[in-house]
Structure formats: structure tokens, C-alpha cells
């Protein structure tokens, strides 16, 4: 099965057991001084155990004074870091995987506050439109010094026993900035012409070769298209030409990616992007060079991965987030356990947590894999349930995840689900356009509880009597949530909730529709309605649309809504609805405005489904609230409370 995916490969002198690559990904697990932590080792080792042929580390610091990307990032900027890197390499090698260290400098995309409050080094004084940090144009001497820092870092990787080095020349970081006319406006030998803009990277490659010798595998990652519109920037033809020049310089492989921070969603795709959407980039490079090409394109399905290898679109299939979501992806694929693969749903929760890590001081987290980044804490699953019964009220994500972990611990979970299907809020979350991947998670959870032999009672509402008959060791309440409605608003033929629309209970077509509330559910419902031919207007009480939403997801869906000419009114508080008329108060002026619509869709948040807790706590010793039943939230909240409660029981 998947003969191409699991065929041997080679990058320079490095032999690899398969074509499965874990691409670089920040995790915020390193020690604060830049040394490799035990959590780092556990994280990468789990992926090595999972069958990956080649692991690329997160981007490592080469300039500890002015080149940090965050405060918990592995560094290769000094010899004191070699010992930790050696332990990391040894641990990965013990599981027949290989590891290449990626080195970089953040350039203008770094943050001054964690770099001695100094301006960020860049080829030219150009502010990044995302991080908005002060920049300083590097002097020629500083550029030459930085070349040496890259080479010195590569040599440390070699001394530590890593299997190669990758220079990060993608995603808008310093090397990419020199390559691109968008960010390089120099007039010395490092700017201007194509050859001059290439010079910094070329000198890094040559310096690494001098330091590490011809046999130490050297890979360069490129954004072969920056996807910047309306200004001079790197286009695909430029990226291909750079790859060809790197091949002439003796680089052993090209790692193809795309985008910079200002076009972030082509580098780290939201869920609406299809699997394999940017394979044309790696295919173009592969046609132009003879060295191996690694490509990424939101690839989740091993059958798809095998197919694109067979078609010659790339030589190695890279993914970061998929191996974050399921470190056993490769093993499961090789063994044919496709239904057991927990496919990444591209929700970008990992990116959201990584970007905020310097404020939360928490490692990067995955919405659907609670163990990711916490391999030490959850590494040893106790099997001490002894067949004791645990009743789980509700078959949504929290209840299913709890049942899955309870079964692993050898408890006997019994799920009560009053509906005729498992899934809870996931059944609604997968309905909006581009959210089909939520169905992958639901299918996986259901498969896990079925494969574990968990007893599921569909269409049965739990009662104290039915629970007592089980003599449960514990009762886990995961009854979910329901739409919140203010006292002055009631459902009617004209006024419905987003839940009514998503469930199909409310049918709306060819109508003028107001959606009240622009949280994720609200704007996704707005897109669904707009796709259905309705004229949609979104109202939001807060001062901006999508309050609290991760910006990549918000920008993605707003772009879709723009194509449907959806109107938006922020800063408008709903006062009341009377028939087809609604009154809104403008929060900045206090004035009221009246609007007329055919239908109103309320998306004002959720509240826990009422549960007679006093009866449950009076009848059973151990009663726990999970997921939305405790506090309505996101998928991660539901899964995490389910996992942790079951793990700690």
C-alpha cells in the first residue's frame, strides 16, 4: 500500500526510509535560554516513533542578540547549544528517522521587544504590515557578518550529529527579504539586480559548504511565489530561477513553499483551502531542477500523497500541521489504518496559539490533538479503569473524546445521546462552506469509540434512574449548549437562530436577511445564506466585525463574503424586532435606526443546555461537567475538558 510514499529516498548523502517529511514548525517548547528542552525532545521523538522519514526542526536562531523569533525557540547561535542538539538528534535516530535543523533570522518580521528593543535587521527600512516593528537597514559589514553566523550555526548542527541543515529562505524572513524586490531596496552589491538580491543567500550556501564540507546535506526552503499583488515581488518564475541557481551552487534539495507574513494564508492555509492546492509550485520547480523537491500543500490523505508522488509533482511530501495533529500518521498509513488517522482540519488554532505564545507563555497547541506539545505529561496513559462504568451524558466532541480516553484507560464508558446521531455541535460546524474538514474530526471520533467497543445509546436521554442502573463510578455531563436568546427576543417564522439555519430546520432562500452577531458562527452562517442566493447584512454590537476571531480565519471568510456583496454594520446593538422591522442603536452616537428584512438570524452565542445538576450530584459521588455544558467554547475547549477529565479520573 502506498508504494511511492514508502519508497526510499535520498537528499545528497542522506538516505531516507520513506518520502514522508515533517516540515518545520514552531512549537514554543525550547528552554528560555534557547537550549533544547526535554519537552522538545519528547515532541520530535513522538514524530520519529510515528514513522516519519525526515524531520525538519523549527527554525533555529543564528543571532541570539538580534535574531530571536520568540522567547522559547531553539538556538544554534553558540557552542553551548550543541549538547542539547546532540541529545535531540540521538533520540530521533533511535527510531530510524533523520533530522535536519532549519536555521534562520526573522528579519523585519521579528519583534523588537524580545531583541533588546533594537530595530529589527532587514535589507532595507521596510516595515512588515503584520508585526509593525521598527527596522534598520543592515550595513554591508553586518550582512557579511550574518553570513558567518549562518555558517557557524550549520557547523554546530553537524557537530551535534544532525543529518543536515536547511536555510530558511521563505515566508518573508531575512533571507527571503534579500531575495525579494518587495523588501530589498538596497543599492549595494546585495540589492538591485536579481544576482545581487541572490548574493546573500548564495554566500550563505558557499560559507556553509566551506564550514561543513560537501557531504553535509544542505537544503534551502523558498517561497517561490510571495503572492504579493500590485508591487514588485517574487513570482513563480523568479522562484524557479532562484531554485536553478541554488542547484548550480550545490544545494542538495529545494523545499518549496509560498507567501510572507502579509500573505500568510498561502503559507499556512485556513480550512477553506483544498488539499494539494499549491502543488503546481513544487511541480514547476521539479521540472526545472534535478535535485529532489520537497513540497507542502495541505496534504492530509496518504492516498493523495502517494498519487502526487507517482505523478512526479514532488519527491518528498511535507507537512507540519498534519504531524502535529497525528504524530502516527506515517505508521497508520503504512499499516493501512486510514480511518485511524486524525487528519488536520486546518483550523489554524496552532498558529493562533504560537503567535500569542509570548503573551500566554504556553506552548503551541493543537485544537484536535490534546497531547501535542505535552508528550511528557500525557506520554504514559494509565490503564487502571478495571472495567468500571463511567456514564457520559452527550455524544458531542467533549463526550466522545472523554469516552475515547476512558476506553484507553480500560474503563467501560457508556454514552447517552438524546439525538439519533453522534456529533453534537460538530454536526453544525461542518455545514458552512469550506468547513467540510470538521467532518473529518467527527468521523474520526466516532470511529475511535466504535473501534473501542464503547456502548452508545442513541435516542436515549439520561435520567437519574437509567444512570443509577449502571452503578457508575462517575458521571460525565457533556450535554452541550443551546443558542442564547435575550428575554425580549423569541423564535418566529421571521426570526430564527443560526443553529436553526445550520441544522436545516429553518429554510431561507431568495430573501433579504439580517444576521445578528459576527462571531465565527454568525459570519459562517452569513456565508452559507449568501451562497444560497440571499441578500445578507451582518450586524455586530462590537466596534469591529468578528471580535475575538483569529485574524487569518476572519480575513479568509471576509474575502468570501465580499464576493457576495454582504453588508456590515459594526457598533450596532439590536434593540428589538417587530415583525419585519428591527431597531438598532448606534453605540457611538446613541441614535437608533430602523431596518426592514424578510428574515432575521440570531447568532448571539450559546449557553449550557440545562441539566438537573442538583439531582445528579445528590445521586452520584463523582459528577463532572465537560465542554459546552461547563462553558460554551471552541472545539479545543470541548476536547480538552473531555480528555483531561478522563485522563485524571
DSSP calls for 560-606: HHHHTT-EEEESEEEEEEETTEEEEEETTT--EEEEE-SEEEE---E
- The three cell numbers of residue 291 are 535535485
List the single range of 219-223, 277-281, 355-359, 608-612 with lowest mean pLDDT. Answer: 355-359
- Per residue in 547-596, pLDDT tens? 999 999 999 999 999 999 999 999 999 999 999 999 999 999 999 999 99
Is 90 exceeded by the pLDDT of residue 326? yes
Q: Are strands 567-570 and 535-540 parallel, antiparallel or unpaired?
A: parallel
**DSSP reduced 3-state for 92:** helix
Q: What is the pLDDT of residue 338?
A: 98
The pLDDT of residue 604: 97
Phi, psi of 85 (to 5 degrees): -65, -35
Cell numbers at 549, concatenated: 476571531
Among 577, 582, 574, 520, smallest CA distance to 545 is for: 520
pLDDT greater than 90 at residue 160: yes
Q: How confident is the model at residue 359 (pLDDT cuts 50, 70, 90)?
A: confident
pLDDT tens readout for residues 186-218: 999 999 999 999 999 999 999 999 999 999 999
Burial of 380 (0-12, 13-18, 19+ CB in 10 A): exposed
Are the C-beta atoms of residues 275 and 241 closer than 8 Å to each other?
Answer: no
Report the half-sphere exposure of 186 (CA within 13 A, side-chain side). Answer: 26
Assign 431 a pLDDT band (cuts: 50, 70, 90). very high
Is pLDDT of 382 > 90? Answer: yes
Answer yes or no: is pLDDT of 29 > 90: yes
User: For 83-127, what is each residue's pLDDT tens digit?
Assistant: 999 999 999 999 999 999 999 999 999 999 999 999 999 999 999
Q: What is the pLDDT of residues 506-552, one digit of tens each?
A: 999 999 999 999 999 999 999 999 999 999 999 999 999 999 999 99
Neighbour-count burial of 548, counting CB atoms closer than 10 A to its CB (0-12 exposed, 13-18 middle, 19+ buried)? exposed
Residue 441 to residue 439: CA distance in whole angstroms: 5
What's the pLDDT score for residue 358?
87
Q: What whole-number distance in Å separates Cα of residue 483 and Cα of residue 605?
A: 6
pLDDT digits (tens, 9 = 90+) for 230-278: 999 999 999 999 999 999 999 999 999 999 999 999 999 999 999 999 9
As a whole-number percent, the residues of the chain with pLDDT over 70 amount to: 100
Domains of the chain: 21-360 (3.20.20.70), 389-482+610-648 (3.40.50.720), 495-604 (3.50.50.60)
Tell how far CA 476 is from the center of its chain: 29
Q: What is the DSSP letter of 542?
A: S
User: Looking up cell 474530526, which residue turns up?
Assistant: 441
Q: Is the pLDDT of residue 648 over 90?
A: yes
- Reported confidence tier of residue 449, pLDDT bands at 50, 70, 90: very high
User: Would you place residue 46 in the very low, low, confident or very high pLDDT band (cuts 50, 70, 90)?
Assistant: very high
Which set of grid coordinates corresponds to residue 642?
473531555
CA–CA dist 645, 224 (Å, integer): 46
The secondary element (H helix, E strand) that includes residue 628 is: none
Measured N-to-C along each axis, helices 194-212 and 236-248 cross at an angle, to the nearest 10 degrees, of 40
Mean pLDDT along residues 426-442: 98
Distance CA 428, CA 139 (A): 55
Q: What is the CA radius of gyration of the chain?
A: 26
Average pLDDT over residues 375-381: 93
* pLDDT value of residue 243: 99
Distance of CA 424 to the CA centre of its chain: 23
Q: In 10 A of CB 72, how many CB atoms?
A: 24
- pLDDT score recorded for residue 455: 98
Catalytic residues: 173
Q: Is the pLDDT of residue 282 over 90?
A: yes
Question: Cell 521563505 maps to which residue?
Answer: 170
pTM attached to this predicted model:
0.96
DSSP letter at 216?
S
The edge-to-edge listing of strands for the beta sheet with 572-578 is: 572-578, 581-586, 592-596
**Residue 169: pLDDT band with limits 50, 70, 90:** very high
pLDDT tens figures, 481-501: 999 999 999 999 999 999 999
Amino acid at each position: 500500500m502506498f508504494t511511492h510514499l514508502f519508497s526510499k529516498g535520498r537528499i545528497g548523502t542522506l538516505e531516507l526510509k520513506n518520502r514522508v517529511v515533517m516540515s518545520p514548525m514552531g512549537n514554543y517548547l525550547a528552554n528560555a535560554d534557547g537550549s533544547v528542552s526535554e519537552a522538545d525532545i519528547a515532541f520530535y521523538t513522538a514524530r520519529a516513533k510515528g514513522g516519519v522519514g525526515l524531520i525538519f526542526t523549527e527554525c533555529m536562531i543564528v543571532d541570539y542578540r538580534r535574531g530571536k523569533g520568540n522567547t522559547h525557540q531553539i538556538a544554534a547561535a553558540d557552542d553551548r547549544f550543541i549538547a542539547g542538539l546532540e541529545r535531540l538528534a540521538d533520540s530521533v535516530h533511535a527510531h530510524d528517522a533523520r533530522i535536519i535543523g532549519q536555521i534562520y533570522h526573522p528579519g523585519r518580521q521579528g519583534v523588537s521587544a524580545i531583541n533588546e528593543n533594537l530595530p529589527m535587521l532587514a535589507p532595507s527600512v521596510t516595515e512588515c504590515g503584520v508585526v509593525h516593528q521598527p527596522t534598520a537597514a543592515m550595513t554591508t559589514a553586518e550582512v557579511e557578518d550574518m553570513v558567518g553566523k549562518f555558517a557557524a550555526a550549520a557547523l554546530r548542527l553537524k557537530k551535534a550529529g544532525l543529518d543536515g541543515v536547511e536555510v530558511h529562505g521563505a515566508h518573508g524572513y531575512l533571507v527571503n527579504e534579500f531575495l525579494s524586490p518587495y523588501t530589498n531596496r538596497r543599492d549595494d552589491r546585495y540589492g538591485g539586480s536579481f544576482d545581487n538580491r541572490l548574493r546573500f543567500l548564495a554566500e550563505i550556501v558557499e560559507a556553509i559548504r566551506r564550514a561543513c564540507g560537501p557531504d553535509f546535506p544542505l537544503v534551502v526552503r523558498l517561497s517561490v511565489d510571495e503572492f504579493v499583488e500590485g508591487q514588485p515581488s517574487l513570482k513563480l518564475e523568479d522562484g524557479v530561477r532562484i531554485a536553478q541557481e541554488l542547484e548550480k551552487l550545490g544545494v542538495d534539495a529545494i523545499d518549496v513553499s509560498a507567501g510572507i507574513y502579509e500573505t500568510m494564508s498561502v503559507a499556512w492555509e485556513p480550512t477553506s483551502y483544498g488539499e494539494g492546492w499549491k502543488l503546481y509550485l513544487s511541480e514547476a520547480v521539479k521540472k526545472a531542477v534535478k535535485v529532489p523537491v520537497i513540497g507542502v500543500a495541505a496534504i492530509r490523505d496518504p492516498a493523495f500523497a502517494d498519487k502526487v508522488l507517482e505523478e512526479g509533482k514532488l519527491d518528498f511530501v511535507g507537512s507540519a500541521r498534519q504531524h502535529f495533529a497525528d504524530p502516527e500518521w506515517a505508521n497508520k498509513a503504512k499499516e493501512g489504518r486510514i480511518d485511524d488517522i486524525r487528519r488536520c482540519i486546518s483550523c489554524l488554532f496552532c498558529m493562533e496559539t504560537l503567535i500569542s505564545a509570548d503573551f500566554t507563555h504556553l506552548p503551541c497547541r493543537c485544537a484536535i490533538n490534546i497531547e501535542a506539545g505535552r508528550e511528557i505529561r500525557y506520554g504514559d496513559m494509565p490503564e487502571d479503569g478495571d472495567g468500571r462504568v463511567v456514564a457520559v451524558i452527550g455524544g458531542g466532541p467533549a463526550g466522545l473524546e472523554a469516552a475515547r480516553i476512558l476506553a484507553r484507560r480500560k474503563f467501560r464508558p457508556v454514552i447517552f445521546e438524546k439525538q439519533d446521531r453522534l456529533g453534537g455541535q460538530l454536526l453544525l460546524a461542518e455545514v458552512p462552506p469550506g468547513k467540510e474538514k470538521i467532518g473529518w474530526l467527527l468521523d474520526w471520533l466516532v470511529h475511535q469509540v466504535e473501534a473501542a467497543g464503547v456502548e452508545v445509546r442513541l435516542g436515549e436521554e439520561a435520567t437519574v434512574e437509567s444512570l443509577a442502573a449502571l452503578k457508575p463510578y462517575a458521571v460525565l455531563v457533556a450535554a452541550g449548549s443551546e443558542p442564547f436568546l435575550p428575554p425580549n427576543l423569541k423564535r418566529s417564522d421571521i426570526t430564527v437562530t443560526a443553529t436553526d439555519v445550520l441544522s436545516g430546520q429553518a429554510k431561507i432562500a431568495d430573501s433579504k436577511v439580517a444576521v445578528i452577531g459576527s462571531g465565527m458562527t454568525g459570519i459562517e452562517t452569513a456565508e452559507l445564506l449568501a451562497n444560497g442566493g440571499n441578500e445578507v447584512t451582518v450586524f455586530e454590537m462590537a466596534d469591529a466585525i468578528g471580535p475575538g476571531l483569529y485574524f487569518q480565519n476572519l480575513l479568509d471568510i471576509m474575502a468570501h463574503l465580499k464576493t457576495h456583496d454582504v453588508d456590515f454594520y459594526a457598533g450596532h446593538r439590536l434593540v428589538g424586532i417587530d415583525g419585519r422591522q428591527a431597531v438598532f442603536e448606534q453605540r457611538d452616537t446613541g441614535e437608533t435606526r430602523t431596518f426592514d428584512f424578510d428574515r432575521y438570524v440570531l447568532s448571539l452565542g450559546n449557553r449550557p443546555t440545562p441539566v438537573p445538576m442538583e439531582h445528579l450530584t445528590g445521586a452520584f459521588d463523582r459528577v463532572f461537567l465537560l465542554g459546552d455544558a461547563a462553558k460554551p467554547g471552541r472545539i479545543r475547549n470541548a476536547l480538552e475538558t473531555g480528555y483531561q477529565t478522563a485522563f485524571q479520573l
